[in-house]
Amino acid sequence: MTSQYPNINPEQGEDKTMNTESLYNFIMLCLKDDDGISEEAYSAIIEYLLSQNEQAIVIEINSKCKSANGRRYIPDDTPTDLFEDTRARLNKLNIR
């Protein structure tokens, strides 16, 4: 039986879930939205990133995020680099 989810087909050993770069860019897109995301969703994302040993991304997201009315967001005037730019900058600072 084929999975109902197009990115996962366990019978064929496939797992096309997001890599770190895709996840980072997706999170930034969600946070840069007018409504942002709920505090609960934000906490879940942070916990997941920490469980995946992605402290550098947590630091980056926390440094840009604001909170209001139970929502987390990144203000429109805040630059959000793509993953490669962010990773290169953090590597220069020896943050991993």
76-91 pLDDT, tens digit each: 888 766 555 655 655 6
Least confident of 17-21, 59-63, 65-69, 76-80: 17-21
pLDDT category at 38 given cuts 50, 70, 90 is: very high
Please tell me the pTM assigned to this model.
0.66
Distance from C-alpha of 42 to C-alpha of 40, rounded to nearest angstrom: 5
3-state secondary structure of 75: coil
Distances (CA, A) of 2 to 7, 11, 26, 75: 11, 7, 26, 41
Higher pLDDT, 4 or 57: 57
Half-sphere exposure at residue 19, Cβ-oriented, CA atoms within 13 angstroms: 3
3-state secondary structure of 69: coil
